[in-house]
Amino acid sequence: MEEWSGLSPGEQLLSNAADMSADPIVIGGYGRARLQEFVLGGTIRTILLR
């Protein structure tokens, strides 16, 4: 597997999917407390907002 070169996990997933011309991306997600999500961010948020 390639090095992640400083990308967040969500950005890396999107980059890999684009490289493979994958469509759609099927992922699962779960909720966390709003403050925890704000502080820690999230891969699901990255995927959904792009």
Hey, what's the torsion of the CAs at 49, 27, 6, 37, to 10 degrees? 60
Angle at 39 between CA 33 and CA 43, to 5 degrees: 80
Residue 27 in contact with residue 9, Cβ under 8 Å? no
Q: pLDDT digits over 1-50, tens only? A: 456 578 888 888 889 999 999 988 887 777 777 777 776 667 777 887 77
**pLDDT, position 19:** 94
Residue 41 in contact with residue 8, Cβ under 8 Å? yes
All structural domains of the chain with their residue ranges: 9-49
